[in-house]
Amino acid sequence: MKMLIPTMPEAELQRLRHSAPALEFLVARDRQEALALAPQVHASFSFYQTELISAAPQLRWVQTRSAGVDSCPFDQFRTRNITLTNARDIYGIQLADHTLALILAFSRQLPLLFRAQQKEQWVSRHTFPPGELAGQTLLVVGLGGTGLETARRAAGFGMRVLATRRRAGEPKPSFVDALHPPEDLHRLLPEADWVAVCVPLTRHTRDLFSDREFALMKQSAYIVCVTRGGIINTAALLRALEAGRIDGAGLDVTDPEPLPAGHPLWSRPDVIITPHASGHSPYADARMLDLLCENTRRFAQGETLLNVVDLEMEY
């Protein structure tokens, strides 16, 4: 069997070969080369655009490099029943770090204090009110890889952690106070001081946060999103911020993305924008290679793969 892969350092390629000696690896430098190799391949890492799937009649498995698979041509995958595996375990740690960084930046008033530092002003601590996370309620929307890591960290701060999860009946981690099905979202929003959006973008979660959801949140609440831009409706978020219906938003992902200069979100003092940087970590590449090697070994030996995407749920 043959597997299509992008160019990678020789040492990594050696490890990959070693993990599945029975497979032949075809290296493509770009999409064009990948397309030319497609007719031969049974598996593909990283390449999965529509034309490639069409050109690869023997394709049985695709491994993505990302956790989010919202750009995947799901119709083709469903029709041909191609197995799709993503990289969801690779990013949870750093996405959770980033989520907590944004929450703490708001709680401890860092945006205001950064601006004061630029002006070399030792502002009186009585002119701004830093918060405290202990006892506050964090709502983790989507207790998957990122949600779990976010909840674990929040519990260390003494926060009350509520979470939604599609499989709400499965065992609840000790660091989550209450676990609910996704349909409870509207009932939970009024309780949250902080909302951490940890769901992937799918046809079911697009615009999950819009006018109605912001209206249900506390006026003092913040929303943080590090997964995908389309989950929060940008126009509705701006309306909510302008009307003071919520206190602020920390966004590592936006819609549109990249956020163009001049967009009103950039200059709001109640918004922190970071440029889709939450997935970055010095250790992500090593974790990706581990996952790729393990799944390639499993594929070659006919074992069940890790991180299989539900083609109906699209994550």
* Set 276, 287, 297, 298: catalytic member: 276
Find the shortest distance in angstroms from Cβ 70 to a copy of itself.
18
Find the shortest distance in angstroms from Cβ 87 to a copy of itself.
15
Q: In the annotation, is 287 catalytic?
A: no
C-beta separation of 193 from 170 below 8 A: no
Q: In the annotation, is 18 catalytic?
A: no
Find the shortest distance in angstroms from Cβ 30 to a copy of itself.
18
Find the shortest distance in angstroms from Cβ 71 to a copy of itself.
17
Measure Cα distances from 135 to 52, 56, 196, 219 in Å. Answer: 51, 54, 16, 18
Residue with smaller CB distance to a copy of itself, 257 or 290: 257
Find the shortest distance in angstroms from Cβ 268 to a copy of itself.
10
Residue with smaller CB distance to a copy of itself, 40 or 281: 281
* Set 257, 263, 287, 297: catalytic member: 257
Residue with smaller CB distance to a copy of itself, 118 or 304: 118
C-alpha to C-alpha distance for 248 and 51, rounded to whole angstroms: 41
Q: In the annotation, is 276 catalytic?
A: yes
Find the shortest distance in angstroms from Cβ 193 to a copy of itself.
11
251: its two tokens: 């966004």
Residue with smaller CB distance to a copy of itself, 62 or 271: 271
* Set 88, 160, 165, 228: catalytic member: 228
Residue with smaller CB distance to a copy of itself, 244 or 282: 282
Place of tokens 């160019």: 7
Find the shortest distance in angstroms from Cβ 16 to a copy of itself.
23
The strands making up 271-273's β-sheet, listed across from edge to edge, are 178-180, 160-164, 137-141, 194-197, 222-225, 248-251, 271-273
Tell me which residues touch a copy of itself (CB under 8 A): 93-94, 97-98, 100-101, 104-105, 107-111, 113-114, 116-117, 120-125, 128-135, 152-158, 175, 257-259, 261-263, 266-267, 272-284
Q: What are phi and psi of 242, to 5 degrees?
A: -65, -35
Residue with smaller CB distance to a copy of itself, 142 or 250: 250
Residue with smaller CB distance to a copy of itself, 80 or 125: 125
Catalytic residues: 228, 257, 276
